[in-house]
Amino acid sequence: MSPEIQQYDPFVLVLFGATGDLSKRKLFPALYSLYQNNQLHNDFAVIGVGRSELSREKFLAELKESISTYARIPMCSEEEWQAFISHFDYTAVNVKDATAYGTLTSKVQEYEAKFNLPGNRMFYLALAPELFGVVSNNLKDSGLTDAKGWKRLIIEKPFGHDLESAKTLNEEISRSFNEEEVYRIDHYLGKEMVQNIEVIRFANSMFEPLWNNRYIDNIQITASETVGVEERAAYYEHSGALRDMVQNHMLQMVMMVCMEPPSRLKTEAVRDEKVKVLRALRRYAEQEVAFNVVRGQYSSGEINGEELPGYRSEHGVAPKSSTETFVAAKLFVDNFRWAGVPIYIRTGKRMPKKTTEIIIQFKELPKNLYFNKNNDLGPNLLIIRINPEEGMYLLLNAKRQGTDDKVVPIAMEFCNNCSDQSPEAYESLLYDAATGDSTFFTRWDEVSIAWKFVDPIRRAWDQTKEEIPHYPSGTWGPDEAHQLLARDGKKWWPVFGERESEVVVKAKEQPAIL
Ligand code: BG6
Distance of CA 78 to the CA centre of its chain: 35
- Looking at ligand 1, which atom is closest to the CA of residue 223? 16
Half-sphere exposure of 43 (CA within 13 A, CB side): 13
**pLDDT value, residue 417:** 79
- Helix, strand or coil for residue 31? helix
For ligand 1, is residue 225 a contact (CB within 6 Å)? Answer: yes
CB 151 within 8 A of CB 41: no
Nearest to 17 by CA among 109, 96, 95, 69: 95
- Per DSSP (E only), the strands in 6-133 are 11-16, 44-50, 88-92, 121-125
Q: pTM score, two decimals?
A: 0.94
Span from the CA of 240 to the centroid of ligand 1 (angstroms): 12
CB 200 within 8 A of CB 173: no
CB 217 within 8 A of CB 379: yes
For residue range 167-185, list pLDDT tens digits in order. Answer: 999 999 999 999 999 999 9
DSSP state, 254? H
Q: Are strands 306-308 and 301-303 parallel, antiparallel or unpaired?
A: antiparallel
**pLDDT value, residue 422:** 83
For residue range 464-508, list pLDDT tens digits in order. Answer: 999 999 999 999 999 999 999 999 999 999 877 676 544 544 444
- To the nearest 10°, report the CA torsion of 236, 242, 244, 249: 160
Angle at 331 between CA 208 and CA 381, to 5 degrees: 45
For residue range 400-455, list pLDDT tens digits in order. Answer: 777 777 788 888 888 887 777 888 999 999 999 999 999 999 999 999 999 999 99
Nearest to 257 by CA among 212, 224, 225: 212
Indicate the residue type of 307.
E
Span from the CA of 159 to the centroid of ligand 1 (angstroms): 15
161 catalytic per annotation: no
Span from the CA of 229 to the centroid of ligand 1 (angstroms): 11
Q: What is the pLDDT along the chain (514 residues), one digit of tens a residue?
A: 444 445 578 999 999 999 999 999 999 999 999 999 988 877 899 999 999 999 999 999 999 999 999 999 999 999 999 999 999 999 999 999 988 999 999 999 999 999 999 999 999 999 999 999 999 999 999 999 999 999 999 999 999 999 999 999 999 999 999 999 999 999 999 999 999 999 999 999 999 999 999 999 999 999 999 999 999 999 999 999 999 999 999 999 999 999 999 998 899 999 999 999 999 999 999 999 999 999 999 999 999 999 999 999 999 999 999 999 999 999 999 999 999 999 999 999 999 999 999 999 999 887 777 766 667 778 999 999 999 989 998 998 888 777 777 788 888 888 887 777 888 999 999 999 999 999 999 999 999 999 999 999 999 999 999 999 999 999 999 999 999 999 999 999 987 767 654 454 444 444 333 3
- Looking at ligand 1, which atom is closest to the CA of residue 356? 16
Pocket test for ligand 1, best of 159, 225, 238 (most atoms within 8 A of CB): 225
Span from the CA of 221 to the centroid of ligand 1 (angstroms): 15
Of 161, 187, 249, 470, which one is the catalytic site residue? Answer: 249
In this structure, the residue with its CA closest to atom 15 of ligand 1 is 225
For ligand 1, is residue 424 a contact (CB within 6 Å)? Answer: no
In this structure, the residue with its CA closest to atom 10 of ligand 1 is 225
In this structure, the residue with its CA closest to atom 9 of ligand 1 is 245
Span from the CA of 188 to the centroid of ligand 1 (angstroms): 9
Indicate the residue type of 254.
V
- Looking at ligand 1, which atom is closest to the CA of residue 227? 10
In this structure, the residue with its CA closest to atom 4 of ligand 1 is 245
Helices 251-258, 444-463: axis angle to 10 degrees equals 130
Largest CA distance in the chain: 82
For ligand 1, is residue 356 a contact (CB within 6 Å)? Answer: yes
In this structure, the residue with its CA closest to atom 2 of ligand 1 is 244
- Average pLDDT for the chain: 92
Span from the CA of 156 to the centroid of ligand 1 (angstroms): 12
How many CB atoms are closer than 10 A to CB 342?
Answer: 20
Say how far apart CA 86 and CA 114 lie, in whole Å.
10
Span from the CA of 365 to the centroid of ligand 1 (angstroms): 38
- Looking at ligand 1, which atom is closest to the CA of residue 248? 3
Residue 478 φ then ψ, to 5°: -70, 160
Say how far apart CA 101 and CA 140 lie, in whole Å.
10
For ligand 1, is residue 244 a contact (CB within 6 Å)? Answer: yes
Helices and strands of the chain, counted as H and E runs: 16, 17
